[in-house]
Amino acid sequence: MKVIKFGGSSLASSQQLQKVLAIVEADQKRKYVIVSAPGKRFDGDTKVTDLLIQYARQTIHHQDTQAVTAAIIDRYAEIGHGFNVPEAQLTPIFETIRNLPKQSYADNTYLMAAFKAHGERLNAQLVAAVFQQSGLNARYLDPKDAGMVVTDVPDDAQIIKSSYDQLAKWANSEQILVIPGFFAYNRNGQICTFSRGGSDITGAIIARGVHAERYENFTDVDAIYAVNPSLVAKPAAISEMTFTEMRELSYAGFSVFHDEALIPAIEDNITVNVKNTNHPEAPGTLIQSTREPNPHYPVTGIASSSSFCSLYLRKYLLNKEVGLGRKILTILENHHISYEHMPSGIDDLTIIFDEHQLTPELEKTLVAEISTAINPDEIYFTHDYSILMLVGENMRNRVGIMSRAATALANDNIKLIMVNQGASEISIMFGVHDNDADQAVIALYKEFFD
């Protein structure tokens, strides 16, 4: 049995859904179909999830919601009418959209989660109706009935492990089950979503729960590329990569497959196949536990992300001060802040953070509290910080990769602010200024792939 997930662009219109239908019909093993909300139909279009976020905000602020409601209904209507789905099946979908503000929610965070989740929920109901209309033996399966229970974090939930025992009951389904991605329910029955792009996570959870032989993840690119295709024309496609490589690359910005979705796949050793809905015959990219080494390419992929910032601090004899690290980490812990890396020298220390966790006020508080605790000579935050990752299983046991990378960057006059080849032998991390990041990626690509 295969679990097959379609992203928003694969479900953006009735024309796209026609391709989805053909893909599902082409393989009897494709019994679990996970769907995103309808995505962008063209550049500049708005995803249904983003329309629902607008709708939720307008509801919270008691603003007029007529235009946004009509825009959301239009998206489902176009798909339904394209397949002649009977009005009796479409009307409840439209009514649910109109009635979202009338439901009761514990607070605005749950309201927001419920609004967002309806992008997937209603789309799965519609896709199930389209499949039935086209003669497939298909039905909608709600995450609640499937047995998916998540932690009580409305916009960043995690699966609770006991859900897998419930999901196992759905193994070997004869019928095609159409399941909405992105959300499930907490123990109180309230809707909580995963983080953005989280339908990939649902697909992986279902795959693990029903012990699928494969998790096919259909998107709108032929493969995962070795580098961001907007930086390098026709970059090398990655035919195979390991789970670890994918995790490290998605950490630094590879967004084709959600990094949290890898965990359930790893736990049950399920091969993930990223494929293109618009070109389903292309083999795509396989993500699995091991892969054949490719002696020609020590590097599998290069990524960069500017979503980091750093806290620099300098203090004479910092290396000799007992308990300094603990004092800083306690302050971070008190503010529920995690850190990414902490390279240090004799008198200096840099702490790198995911900057989404911070606000200007919080930064001021942290600087004040750390200053009181350890009395540094200098301390400041900087946001001009990108992390570049060079990742490849073949880098293990290879000599000279660091030298080639550093030389390529130096030849392009790129200043390195941090280098980390720490715990993982399959990646090297560079800290560079935001302005240099794209050029650095291109320089590394030329060195290792051209």
- Rounded to the nearest 10 degrees, what angle do helices 108-133 and 14-25 cross at? 60
Site string for ligand ASP, 116-135 (x = CB under 6 A): ---x----------------
CB of 438 to ligand ASP, least distance (A): 25
Does 316 show up as a binding residue in the annotation? Answer: no
Site string for ligand ASP, 286-325 (x = CB under 6 A): ----------------------------------------
d(CA 183, CA 112): 12
Instruction: Retrieve residue 376's tokens.
Output: 């540094």
- Cα dihedral sign for 299, 300, 306, 312? negative
What DSSP assignment string belongs to 124-166? Answer: HHHHHHHHHHTT--EEE--HHHHT-BB-S-TTS--B-TTHHHH
Residue 38 in contact with ligand ASP, rule: CB under 6 A = no
Does 220 show up as a binding residue in the annotation? Answer: yes
Does 372 show up as a binding residue in the annotation? Answer: no
Helices (H) and strands (E) in the chain, counts: 14, 17
Q: Is 148:161 a contact under the CB 8 Å cutoff?
A: no
**First-last CA distance in the chain:** 39
CB of 361 to ligand ASP, least distance (A): 28
Instruction: Retrieve residue 337's tokens.
Output: 């802040």
Site string for ligand ASP, 48-67 (x = CB under 6 A): -x------------------
Closest CA to 38 of 56, 58, 14: 14
Closest CA to 85 of 3, 152, 21, 26: 21
Closest CA to 159 of 167, 150, 168: 150
CB of 184 to ligand ASP, least distance (A): 13
Q: Percent helix, strand and coil across the chain, each rounded to 5?
A: 40, 20, 35
CB of 39 to ligand ASP, least distance (A): 7
CB neighbours of residue 286 within 10 Å: 19
Q: How many residues bind ligand ASP (CB under 6 A)?
A: 12
- Rounded to the nearest 10 degrees, what angle do helices 108-133 and 66-82 cross at? 20
Name which position in 13, 36, 244, 305 contacts ligand ASP (CB under 6 A).
36
Name which position in 76, 182, 381, 385 contacts ligand ASP (CB under 6 A).
182
Q: Is 77:90 a contact under the CB 8 Å cutoff?
A: yes
Residue 8 in contact with ligand ASP, rule: CB under 6 A = yes
Closest CA to 238 of 200, 211, 272: 272
Q: Which of residues 135-174 bind ligand ASP (CB under 6 A)?
A: none
d(CA 362, CA 139): 48
Q: Which of residues 185-204 bind ligand ASP (CB under 6 A)?
A: 196-199
Q: Which is nearer to ligand ASP, 34 or 389 (CB)?
A: 34
* Backbone torsions φ then ψ of 16, nearest 5 degrees: -70, -40
CB neighbours of residue 450 within 10 Å: 7
Q: Which is nearer to ligand ASP, 75 or 291 (CB)?
A: 75
Q: Which is nearer to ligand ASP, 19 or 47 (CB)?
A: 47
Q: Is 286:242 a contact under the CB 8 Å cutoff?
A: no
Q: Which is nearer to ligand ASP, 36 or 310 (CB)?
A: 36
CB neighbours of residue 360 within 10 Å: 8
Q: Which is nearer to ligand ASP, 262 or 313 (CB)?
A: 262
Residue 218 in contact with ligand ASP, rule: CB under 6 A = no
| Beta-bridge mates of residue 191 | 185
Name which position in 19, 31, 47, 214 contacts ligand ASP (CB under 6 A).
47
CB of 4 to ligand ASP, least distance (A): 14
Which residues here bind ligand ASP, judged by CB under 6 A?
A: 8, 36-37, 47, 49, 119, 181-182, 196-199
* Known binding-site positions for ATP: 219-220, 225
Q: Which segments are annotated as binding site?
A: 219-220, 225
